[in-house]
A = this chain, B = another copy of it.
Amino acid sequence: MASAANAISLSASPRLAASSSSDQLVVRLQSPSSVSFRPRSELKPARLSVASRANRLRICATAAPVMDKAASPKVPTIVDVDLGDRSYPIYIGSNLLDQPELLQRHVHGKRVLIVTNETIAPLYLDKVVHALTVGNPNVSVDHVILPDGEKYKNMDVLTKVFDKAIESRLDRRCTFVALGGGVIGDMCGYAAASYLRGVNFIQIPTTVMSQVDSSVGGKTGINHRLGKNLIGAFYQPQSVLIDTDTLNTLPERELASGFAEVIKYGLIRDAEFFEWQEKNMHALMSRDPAALAYAIKRSCENKAEVVSLDEKESGLRATLNLGHTFGHAIETGFGYGVWLHGEAVAAGIVMAADMSHRLGWIDESIVTRIHNILKQAKLPTAPPETMTVEMFKSVMAVDKKVADGLLRLILLKGPLGNCVFTGDYDRKALEETLHAFCKS
């Protein structure tokens, strides 16, 4: 096949390009040869030309790489996920749970089931029930509170959601609301996809991880003892409501875990965003509201664009899994929940970068910058010491990206912000990377 490197080029203005062959897809957000932060005033006309509703931004690769400090806290930023008749808005902003109309406009029917967990329920359940019911006496709200953690993302716990829905006699016009992090969103989404063969649902993500990644795009599901997310559905929500204030109660380790996915967007397709993160990781770690809001918005824009182009992951969407194949092996081999998902992904990104460098696909400087930004975010840069080569291989063999026996990986290739999804790589590089990071 033709070398993917030949397909990569630099251009003076950022734009999206993609090419594919039978077993490889090359994706790149082509970066300008020099990146500069443009003053916001320069970008206003372009923004206005694509906004059809007040304060609603269409996905736009030229969005300004600056924080939107002037935005009113009461007016959410809206990112649209464009999927034809399954399109939906992502609302992002401070204090959104105090704006009942944002939730109520997406509730169909008279019955709501909130799915949440033991950690989030005491903090936000009453607030969400109030937002759903205030001035809306026809709606009645049930809830089910699940144990908190990745290790409960299984069939037994999912059954509790079905039991509650059936015992509450919820019908096809009901709405499920996921209130919590990625585990809650994935389980509630899969329950909504399956209950009566599909009911409405709304995501209210309360962690960085779920706000920048798992709540957007319709991937739902549960784990199996032999692998992560092996059972599930592609099922899109009615809307996603991201109240950035919910991050105030998030433990620091979980905050950092979410930044692993933010860093991923920069690496796979948005070099400008990565460079912004290098300058602003300290602000993000100290929960600067404007920095958080910007990082979430830009992440959602990247995710929404990819999902709009490839909803069912026939190629492009797989690139969102940079570091995840190695990361899933860590989560599965080490026991779900010992490491957080983003921690495993961080180590996985380092391994993918190491392998990409061994293949001669990226410069040493990118490997170094990845190490540095992960350290700033207090994230791991290597797998747990107990992981063995065999543990990695055993889990990677059942990865969803295996096709007809061939493991396809997302690897970095070319300048910062470029990646490939491919099964066409030297197996020796994979062996070397696994042995470099494992003692046995």
Query: Which of B167, B169, B198, B234 is close to A312, meaning CB atoms less than 8 Å apart?
Result: B198
**A400–B166 contact, CB under 8 A?**
no
Given contacts A110-B405, A404-B110, contact A231 B162 (CB under 8 A): yes
Which residues in window 214-241 of A have CB below 8 A to B? Answer: 219-221, 224, 226-227, 229-234
C-alpha gap A195/B398 in the complex (Å) = 12
**A169–B110 contact, CB under 8 A?**
no
Given contacts A155-B159, A166-B227, contact A403 B233 (CB under 8 A): no
Which residues in window 77-124 of A have CB below 8 A to B? Answer: 109-111
**B195–A230 contact, CB under 8 A?**
yes
C-alpha gap A403/B169 in the complex (Å) = 10
C-alpha gap A165/B23 in the complex (Å) = 24
Is A71 positioned at the interface, with any CB of B under 8 Å from its CB?
A: no
**A404–B109 contact, CB under 8 A?**
yes
Residues from chain B with a CB closer than 8 A to the CB of A171 are: 400, 402-405
Which residues in window 342-386 of A have CB below 8 A to B? Answer: none
**B162–A230 contact, CB under 8 A?**
yes
C-alpha gap A116/B163 in the complex (Å) = 28
Residue of B nearest to A407 (CB): B171
**B172–A403 contact, CB under 8 A?**
yes
Interface string of A234-255 (1 = CB under 8 A from B): 1000000000000000000000
C-alpha gap A163/B230 in the complex (Å) = 10
CB distance from A217 to the nearest CB of B (A): 12
Q: A residues bordering B, Cβ < 8 Å? A: 109-111, 155, 159, 162-163, 166-167, 169, 171-173, 193-198, 219-221, 224, 226-227, 229-234, 312, 397-398, 400-405
Residues from chain B with a CB closer than 8 A to the CB of A234 are: 197-198
**B162–A224 contact, CB under 8 A?**
yes
Residues from chain B with a CB closer than 8 A to the CB of A312 are: 198
Extra inter-chain contacts (8) besides given A166-B230, A171-B400, A194-B194, CB under 8 Å? A110-B404, A155-B155, A166-B226, A171-B403, A173-B403, A197-B221, A197-B233, A197-B234
CB distance from A253 to the nearest CB of B (A): 29
**A198–B398 contact, CB under 8 A?**
no
CB distance from A166 to the nearest CB of B (A): 5
**A193–B233 contact, CB under 8 A?**
yes
Residues from chain B with a CB closer than 8 A to the CB of A172 are: 400-403
Residues from chain B with a CB closer than 8 A to the CB of A401 are: 172
C-alpha gap A167/B224 in the complex (Å) = 11
C-alpha gap A49/B103 in the complex (Å) = 53
Question: What would be 19 A-B contacts, judged by CB atoms less than 8 Å apart?
Answer: A110-B405, A111-B404, A162-B230, A166-B224, A166-B398, A169-B397, A169-B398, A171-B403, A171-B405, A172-B402, A173-B403, A194-B231, A196-B400, A197-B220, A197-B221, A197-B229, A197-B232, A197-B234, A198-B234
Residue of B nearest to A169 (CB): B398
Residue of B nearest to A191 (CB): B231
Residues from chain B with a CB closer than 8 A to the CB of A232 are: 194, 197
Residues from chain B with a CB closer than 8 A to the CB of A224 are: 162-163, 166
Residues from chain B with a CB closer than 8 A to the CB of A400 are: 171-172, 196-197
CB distance from A407 to the nearest CB of B (A): 10
List 9 A-B pairs, minimum CB-CB distance, nearest first. Answer: A171-B402, A197-B232, A166-B226, A196-B400, A194-B231, A110-B404, A169-B398, A173-B403, A197-B234
CB distance from A303 to the nearest CB of B (A): 17
Residues from chain B with a CB closer than 8 A to the CB of A162 are: 224, 230-231
CB distance from A138 to the nearest CB of B (A): 9
Query: Which of B173, B197, B231, B397 is close to A219, meaning CB atoms less than 8 Å apart?
Result: B197
Residue of B nearest to A234 (CB): B197
**A233–B405 contact, CB under 8 A?**
no
CB distance from A328 to the nearest CB of B (A): 13
**A194–B404 contact, CB under 8 A?**
no
**B167–A231 contact, CB under 8 A?**
no
**A167–B226 contact, CB under 8 A?**
yes
**A198–B404 contact, CB under 8 A?**
no
Residues from chain B with a CB closer than 8 A to the CB of A110 are: 404-405
Residues from chain B with a CB closer than 8 A to the CB of A226 are: 166-167
